[in-house]
């Protein structure tokens, strides 16, 4: 897993270049947002179970066919698996948020996920919607914790939804 700093260093090292103004600005931005990233992670960690539960309730309220007979979250086992996966996405999105880099999502979550879901018959669009709902709930939690600018929270959640939505098998 790489963070924003190690990724930047790797890219410049591979090119055999010294840091330029863009690299320095990128580093400055990452370090300036560090406290906010840690505060955001703390807000998520303190209520992760609640965020997942709320997101699940809202998802099933919006898409009740998922929990009806024949739906993909019908039966206790499938319902629990859906919430487990949402928790998994939230945890890794938090890692990416702190790292300022989505690399961990690609390495640990997204590689092969779409193919796995397709082979199991898990619909992608409700998964994407669940991640979007969690993003909104996380932004609310972070704002309630006193952080004014919550835009940096979008990156990991949007990366998950974009990658799940756009990759064709």
Q: What is the DSSP string of 45-86?
A: HHTHHHHHHHHHHHHHHH-GGGTSTTSTT-SHHHHHHHHHHH
Q: Where in the chain is the domain with CATH 1.10.490.20?
A: 34-166
pLDDT tens digits for 23-37? Answer: 999 999 999 999 999
pLDDT of residue 168: 47
pLDDT of residue 58: 98
Coil, strand or helix at 21:
helix
pLDDT of residue 166: 66
Q: pTM for this structure?
A: 0.89
Q: List the CATH code of the domain at 34-166.
A: 1.10.490.20
* pLDDT beneath 50, residues of the chain: 168-169
């Amino acid at each position: 897993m790489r963070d924003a700093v190690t990724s930047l260093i790797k890219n410049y090292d591979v090119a055999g270049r010294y840091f330029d103004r863009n690299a320095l600005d990128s580093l400055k931005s990452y370090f300036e947002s560090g406290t906010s990233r840690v505060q955001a992670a703390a807000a998520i960690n303190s209520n992760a179970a609640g965020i997942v539960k709320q997101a699940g309730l809202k998802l099933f309220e919006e898409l009740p066919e998922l929990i009806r007979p024949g739906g993909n979250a019908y039966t206790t086992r499938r319902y629990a698996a859906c919430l487990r996966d949402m928790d998994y996405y939230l945890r890794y999105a938090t890692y990416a948020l702190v790292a300022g880099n989505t690399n961990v999502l690609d390495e640990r979550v997204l590689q092969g996920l779409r193919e796995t879901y397709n082979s199991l018959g898990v619909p992608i669009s409700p998964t994407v919607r669940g991640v979007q709902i969690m993003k909104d709930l996380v932004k609310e939690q972070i704002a309630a914790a006193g952080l004014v600018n919550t835009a940096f929270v979008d990156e990991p959640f949007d990366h998950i939804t974009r990658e799940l939505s756009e990759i064709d098998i």
